[in-house]
């Protein structure tokens, strides 16, 4: 059975969960903390861009997926704003860790909701063939975005 879009997305979701956990355990002012935040920032951005293009847009085009897609896009925007807020803070300060916790909570909430609700809604809309096609397109775009973001 070919890989579906959900298999590909779940892989990135697990990476995001792991990076969030490790980031919150990192010590203030260390290189590790900065590296983990950079890795999380890149993972979130590459995943969101590819996911929006190759899952949200097709679902947004179907009336049954309109509200779910809008909600998921809104949560991506909130996550982007939290990342920007964190980038402006000193990673040695308590305010940085507080904002990083907020980001982690938002990411975990979004992933849970997406896996429990959005995947079910979209699964009823997409055919098996389309799920496999979207997985391939997602993976290509995700890899391209990661490479582009890492080069910055």
Looking up residue 70, the CATH number of its domain turns out to be 1.20.120.520
pTM above threshold 0.85: yes
For residue 19, the Cα-to-chain-centroid distance in whole angstroms is 11
The boundaries of the domain holding residue 139 are 5-151
Question: How many structural domains comprise the chain?
Answer: 1
Distance of CA 8 to the CA centre of its chain: 12
| C-alpha torsion sign, points 41, 103, 141, 49 | negative
Helix (H, G, I), strand (E, B), or coil: what is residue 62? coil
CA-to-CA distance for 32 and 96, rounded, in angstroms?
15
How many CB atoms sit inside 10 A of residue 2's CB? 11
pLDDT in tens, the chain (152 residues): 789 999 999 999 999 999 999 999 999 989 999 999 999 999 999 999 999 999 999 999 999 999 999 999 999 999 999 999 999 999 999 999 999 999 999 999 999 999 999 999 999 999 999 999 999 999 999 999 999 999 98
CB–CB of 52/122 below 8 Å? Answer: no
Backbone angles phi, psi at 107, to 5 degrees: -60, -50
> Up-side HSE of residue 23: CA atoms within 13 Å toward CB?
28
Q: What are the tens digits of pLDDT across the range 104-141?
A: 999 999 999 999 999 999 999 999 999 999 999 999 99
């Amino acid at each position: 059975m070919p890989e579906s879009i959900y298999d590909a997305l779940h892989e990135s979701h697990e990476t995001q969960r792991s990076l969030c956990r490790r980031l919150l355990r990192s010590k203030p002012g260390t290189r590790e903390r900065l590296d983990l935040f950079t890795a999380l920032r890149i993972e979130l951005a590459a995943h969101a861009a590819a996911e929006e293009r190759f899952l949200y847009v097709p679902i947004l085009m179907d009336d049954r997926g309109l509200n779910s897609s809008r909600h998921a896009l809104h949560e991506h925007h909130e996550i982007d704003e939290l990342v920007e807020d964190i980038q402006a803070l000193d990673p040695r300060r308590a305010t940085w860790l507080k904002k990083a916790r907020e980001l982690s909570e938002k990411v975990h909430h979004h992933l849970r909701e997406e896996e429990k609700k959005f995947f079910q809604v979209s699964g009823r809309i997409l055919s098996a063939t389309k799920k496999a096609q979207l997985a391939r397109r997602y993976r290509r775009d995700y890899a391209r975005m990661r490479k582009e973001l890492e080069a910055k």
